[in-house]
Amino acid sequence: MAARKSAATKVKSKGNRISQVKATNGTSLVQVDEVVLPVRLRIAKAYKMYVGGAFVRSESGRYFQVKSHETSIDADPSVINIPRGSRKDVRDAVLTAKNAQEKWAARTAFNRGQILYRLAEVMESRRDELISSLVRGGATAEKAAAETDAAIDRSIYYAGFCDKFQSLVASSNPVSGPHFGFSVPEPMGVVGVAAPEAPALLGLVSTVLPVITGGNTVVAIASDRDPRTAIVFCECLATSDLPGGVINVLTGQAAEMAPVLAKHREVIAIDAWTRDAELRATLEREGAGSIKRVKTHASPSERFWLEDGEGQGLGWIERFLETKTVWHPVGV
């Protein structure tokens, strides 16, 4: 160590506890107090899809590349590889979501709320990471911060709604006869979501959370423009007590995967937000073939997602619920 130290010349002032020094052979060293260490290589992350509570590569082994707008923030290279999901990945994710659905719906509404609240806590603690990911995806720092904050708040919003929406959409019906008639909401099952191309984070959060609030499970296709932020969000999901399989996020081309979701008979409903009019038409046609509830939308403006009055609400939960009406004799 002493020999190494003597071979180095300091390039920064003595007052710093940590300073860059340059070795005589030209390699960079870092000095921490009295210890001189070589500058370490930073570890780049392998981005993976989130299925069944685990981070997985595509079964197909395919990747697509996404360019970063700024790379100085962390270890990522300027171009990163993102798994390109295949139809088999879709099928695996649907099976996982199907297996998770009954248990998720059987949890108490209060517990589902606790878990979504925990999600907001984890997102808050990873707020900087979410923002920097959005910046690398092309957003300005201000917009990225506003989007992240709105996404965290949306999680809190649906956490609160978990044990309240039932009372708002259920009813005791007037019937003529010695019966009670109750209508109560029930989850539908596995819902396929094609998240909007933009905003990458808020769009995904706003479309997926109301669906699971109602007790459904989700297979979502993340925005292919900024899939990295979706994956960072999945890291929040993975550490938030959300059971594996409740939210599954695939990355890749929506045009390739969404029709498979729409055709899959195990998927009970599909919610597609895409600017691709042809894809919307395909999804409507394929979804009709297996009698799904199909909702397609041309992606609205970013303003729409940011506004509380538009991007969230009871209606968002109600879209993927079934109503069960029960007749019960009076006096029994």
Partner 1 sequence: MASLATKAGREAASLARPPLQDFFPLYVPGPPPVDQVAVEERASSLAKRSIKKGAKVAGLKLAIAMMDLTTLEGKDSAGKVRALCNKALRPLETDASVGPCAAICVYPNLVPVAKRALEGSTVKVASVATAFPSGQSPLDIKLQDVRRAVEFGADEIDMVIDRGAMLSGQYAKVYDEIAATKEACGAAHLKVILETGELGSYDVVRRASEIGIAAGGDFIKTSTGKVQPAATPPVTLVMLETIRDHYYATGRKIGMKPAGGVRTAKQALHYLVLVKETLGDEWLTPDLFRFGASALLNDVLMQLEKERTGNYQAAEDFSKD
CB contact burial 98-117 (16+ within 10 A = b; e otherwise) = bebbeebbebebeebbbbbb
User: What is the chain's alpha carbon radius of gyration, rounded to the nearest angstrom?
Assistant: 24
d(CA 269, CA 234): 22
Nearest Cα to Cα of residue 267 among 258, 256, 278: 258
Nearest Cα to Cα of residue 172 among 318, 314, 330, 317: 330
Residue 164 or 265: the one with the smaller Cβ distance to partner 1 is 265
Can you spell out the DSSP letters for 265-291? Answer: TTEEEEEEE-S-HHHHHHHHHHHHHTT
Considering only residues 91 through 150, tell me which ones interact with partner 1, judged by CB under 8 A: 91, 94, 98
Residue 102 to residues 107, 116, 186, 215, Cα–Cα distance (Å): 9, 18, 11, 8
With CB under 8 A as the contact rule, the residue among 74, 266, 276, 318 that binds partner 1 is: 266
Piece of the chain touching partner 1 by CB under 8 A; list 90-98, 125-133, 228-236, 269-277 = 90-98
CB atoms within 10 A of CB 324: 11
Residue 222 or 260: the one with the smaller Cβ distance to partner 1 is 260
Shortest Å, Cβ 238 to partner 1: 26
With CB under 8 A as the contact rule, the residue among 38, 289, 300, 313 that binds partner 1 is: 289
Residue 41 or 291: the one with the smaller Cβ distance to partner 1 is 291
Residue 19 or 290: the one with the smaller Cβ distance to partner 1 is 290
Is residue 265 close enough to count as binding partner 1 by CB under 8 A? yes
Residue 159 or 257: the one with the smaller Cβ distance to partner 1 is 257
Piece of the chain touching partner 1 by CB under 8 A; list 17-25, 129-137, 140-148, 261-269 = 261-269
Piece of the chain touching partner 1 by CB under 8 A; list 72-80, 107-115, 262-270, 308-316 = 262-270
Considering only residues 200 through 229, tell me which ones interact with partner 1, judged by CB under 8 A: none
Considering only residues 293 through 312, tell me which ones interact with partner 1, judged by CB under 8 A: none
Backbone phi and psi for residue 136, each to the nearest 5 degrees, phi listed first:
-65, -25
With CB under 8 A as the contact rule, the residue among 8, 290, 297, 319 that binds partner 1 is: 290
Contacts of 23 (CB under 8 A, 6+ apart): 4, 7, 8, 29
User: x/- site string to partner 1, residues 143 to 182, per CB under 8 A?
Assistant: ----------------------------------------
Is residue 38 close enough to count as binding partner 1 by CB under 8 A? no
Shortest Å, Cβ 256 to partner 1: 15
Shortest Å, Cβ 98 to partner 1: 8
Helices (H), 137-275: 141-161, 165-169, 200-213, 227-238, 254-263
Piece of the chain touching partner 1 by CB under 8 A; list 147-155, 263-271, 295-303, 306-314 = 263-271
Contacts of 217 (CB under 8 A, 6+ apart): 97, 98, 100, 101, 104, 189, 190, 191, 245, 246, 247, 248
Residues that bind partner 1 (CB under 8 A): 91, 94, 98, 260, 263-266, 289-290
